[in-house]
Structure 1
Amino acid sequence: MSTGLPLVSTADRRHRLGRRHCLAPSARAADTRAVADAVVALHATDAATLYLSARARLAEGGPAEVERALYEDMSVVRLLSMRNTLFAVSAELAPWVDSSTARAIAAKERRTLLKHLDEDGQGLDAAWLAHAEAAALDALDARGPSTGSQLSAAVPALRQKITIGRGRKYEAETGVATRVIRLLAADGRIRRDRPRGSWTSSQFRWVHTEPWPAVPADEARAEVARRWLRAYGPATEADLKWWTGWTLTDVRKALAAVGPEEVRLEDGGTALVCPGDTAPEPAPEPWAALLPGLDPSGMGWADRSFHLDPAHRPALFDYAGNIGPTVWWNGEVVGGWAQRPDGEIVWRLLADPGRAAEEAIGAEAARLAAWVGDARITPRFRTPLERELVA
């Protein structure tokens, strides 16, 4: 054991989480852009998750504050990026995330679609795909914000059907519209605009936009790693590889560029922090949080043992390893929550954090209920405890 290394205790790690993730009341952020930067990226696969993650960290403002950031001043933008997952990041960080991660994903998406077109045997090729993409962009320029269905109605090429896996057990006929739109979005040539329906809807309209400026990929990965380490450190090489989906070589090159310091953990292991970031973190005031499924504070590490008792995992995670809605007390996951069909926010504690904690959790549940209002939330990735609470 490297006893000469600075120690970052479990308590320090939880203090960092409360302050740096804007979860302690005194640390809450003024706007959605600041929230996104605090956690580097907000999960956006589930439309409601993005809003609820922001809500937990905002000092004030309702869903309209998040909508303003996404659709009016566009200070926060969605990108298909880390782990081939949809995230929302600040516009300032977007070029770095795009070059570090999204470009490679977009290239792979294009190769995959071209392979499917070639295997289909109808003579559809890269030239046909380029024509379909151009026609879709022209339609957006003419029509303005449009849903995928509206684009398909306006662009005949998007109504094309192809067969995936011809001659195999999984053979299936599918339309190309969703795949072409996904590719345009991955390339940064279109972006999601206001959805049809409320803020919980994932039926987005699309608008034509310009791709992000290119940044050298190595520089971009170093910048993302530096920001991530500041938000999530102490953390390990394995944590960063899991969070980004990068190769181990790219992770190591990015960390070498950052030049992190090594620290000791209470469990006897070691981890990394940003240079100079070894001092104890002052304890924030006691805090409770009700975080949605896929929230960054629950998905930031491969090893979550410093804030999550492994015995709680079966109740709080789905079969694929996605975390569901969680209840937190002072940096530790102590239970889960759900919204019933009548709108009631209900929760269950999996540990006994004490009476003060229960009162604070109740107050935070009331704050959540007021913020959500008449909206109804069903997580995309449902967990055993969330299902039990709804039932």
Structure 2
Amino acid sequence: MNGDVPGLRHDATVRHITDDERRARLAIRHALAPWGRVADPVAATRAMTVLHATEPPTVHLSVAARVDGVTVEDVERALYVERSLVKQLAMRRTLFVFPRDLLPAAWGAPGDRVAAQEHRKIAKDVEAAGVAAEGAAWLADVRGQLLQALRAAPEGLPAREVRAAVPALDRKVEVRPGSKWGGATQVAPRVLAWLGAAGDVVRGRNAGHWRLSRPSYTRMDTWLGEVPPALPEPDGYAELVRRWLWTFGPGTEADLVWWLGATKAAVRRALADLQAVQVSLDGGAVGWVLPGDDEPLDPADEPWAALLPVLDPTTMGWRDRDWYLDPLHTPYLFDSNGNGGTTAWWNGRIVGCWVQDEAGRVRVVPRQELPRDATRALEAEADRLTAWLDGVVISSVYSSLQMKSARLP
């Protein structure tokens, strides 16, 4: 099964999906066009497969972009009361919000992969630091101590109390000695990340404002009440690829490998298991869609605008972005590690970013001259977002160059 194949012929045996059609799919599948918005936070998350949660406000703002009339309290209720949405460390060692029923796929596939990688690295560093002769045995011991401590604290423990409850975690170990990126780091966050990826521990209630990250760590079985078994790895990847194809398809093999943080072999097996359908894309690449999802889709008649937060899943859904982002704009809207800042969208293309002033007023900063109707529509979205934020100013460690320059006096 091939990935990108330059020069693929657009003949009758392979359906061709143009960039215009991909942008039309994006408007509908991602619930971004005003006529395509969905009913609640769970529906918004399902529409996107998962939401990025590296920065807490991204979750709320991604939902607000896709649900009319939603409130902060609605999002918090889904996360912390109903627990229909759950934070899980998974693909690319990134924190996401998952619909609850998708967790077994994460635990069995990308979460397990990340957990194994973290386990190896921590064990190696613990041994090198002289903390223990057998890093794996040390990790097994602190895991047991931590899970026991969390069982005695069903409401969860913040990070500082985790270290107090398990003194063995209240230490630093040297990472990459001699490297300019090396240094002494706390071991507790790394152990929590390992157990989070494995599905043993979950980020529970947030003690701070919704725009800040101050989680309490809780046992997954305490948080969910009943923990379903992890899916076998092939089934886990197949389910994640199935949902990704519905949200983001057509996409390339390279897109999937990047998004999942998986191997080509795992992606190819999942595509084969799903009997995914090959299509051709503008530029000559090979794309994939689910069986039956290759019917023609006309571009939307009505233009649409959207303002999305830092690391929104629409911005971060594909590795290859030329069909919705001018490559010349990438250095201004993404940081050097490929993290997307805030984005302004017009008819399925990123055309700029948005920033706030000290009073919380949202302002669109275009990268190019826009038609008058685009400017009006984006200004209307800026007014909508300003009203939703109600004076709350969002800061980010992933601010793009365009965001930073727009804030200069």
TM over 0.5: yes
Q: TM-score of the superposition, structure 2-length normalised? A: 0.90
Per-residue deviation, residues 187-234 of structure 1 (Å, max 9, x unmatched)? 212211222221111121111222651211111111111111111111
2:184 is the counterpart of 1:173: yes
- Does the 8 A contact of 1:241 with 1:248 survive in 2? yes
2:264 is the counterpart of 1:248: yes
**Number of the residue aligned with 2:397:** 380
2:320 is the counterpart of 1:303: yes
2:262 is the counterpart of 1:233: no
The offset of 1:31, in angstroms, is 1.5
Distance 1:9 1:127, change over 3 A: closer
2:162 is the counterpart of 1:129: no
2:224 is the counterpart of 1:221: no
Cα distance in structure 1, aligned partners of 2:180 and 2:325: 41
**Number of the residue aligned with 1:365:** 382
**Number of the residue aligned with 2:200:** 189
Secondary structure at the aligned position of 1:297 is classed as: coil
Per-residue deviation, residues 259-315 of structure 1 (Å, max 9, x unmatched)? 122223333443221112122224263221001121111111111111111121121
Identity %: 40
Given candidates 5, 10, 17, the residue that maps to 1:2 is: 10
- Does the 8 A contact of 2:52 with 2:311 survive in 1? yes
2:336 is the counterpart of 1:324: no
Between 6-15 and 208-217, report the one with greater CA deviation: 208-217
Between 336-345 and 83-92, report the one with greater CA deviation: 336-345
The offset of 1:57, in angstroms, is 0.8
- Does the 8 A contact of 2:126 with 2:173 survive in 1? yes
The offset of 1:169, in angstroms, is 7.0
**Number of the residue aligned with 1:73:** 82
- AA paired with 2:191? V
Cα distance in structure 2, aligned partners of 1:340 and 1:221: 43
Cα distance in structure 2, aligned partners of 1:87 and 1:159: 27
The offset of 1:100, in angstroms, is 1.8
Distance 1:212 1:148, change over 3 A: farther
Given candidates 193, 210, 219, the residue that maps to 1:208 is: 219
- AA paired with 1:2? H
**Number of the residue aligned with 1:277:** 293
**Number of the residue aligned with 2:6:** none
Cα distance in structure 1, aligned partners of 2:370 and 2:275: 38
Q: How many pairs does the alignment contain?
A: 391
Unaligned 5+ residue runs, structure 1?
none
Secondary structure at the aligned position of 2:210 is classed as: coil
Secondary structure at the aligned position of 2:368 is classed as: coil
**Number of the residue aligned with 2:148:** 138
Cα distance in structure 2, aligned partners of 1:160 and 1:301: 39
Cα distance in structure 1, aligned partners of 2:308 and 2:391: 19
Secondary structure at the aligned position of 1:379 is classed as: coil
Cα distance in structure 2, aligned partners of 1:94 and 1:142: 24
- Does the 8 A contact of 2:278 with 2:289 survive in 1? yes
2:125 is the counterpart of 1:108: no
- AA paired with 1:288? A
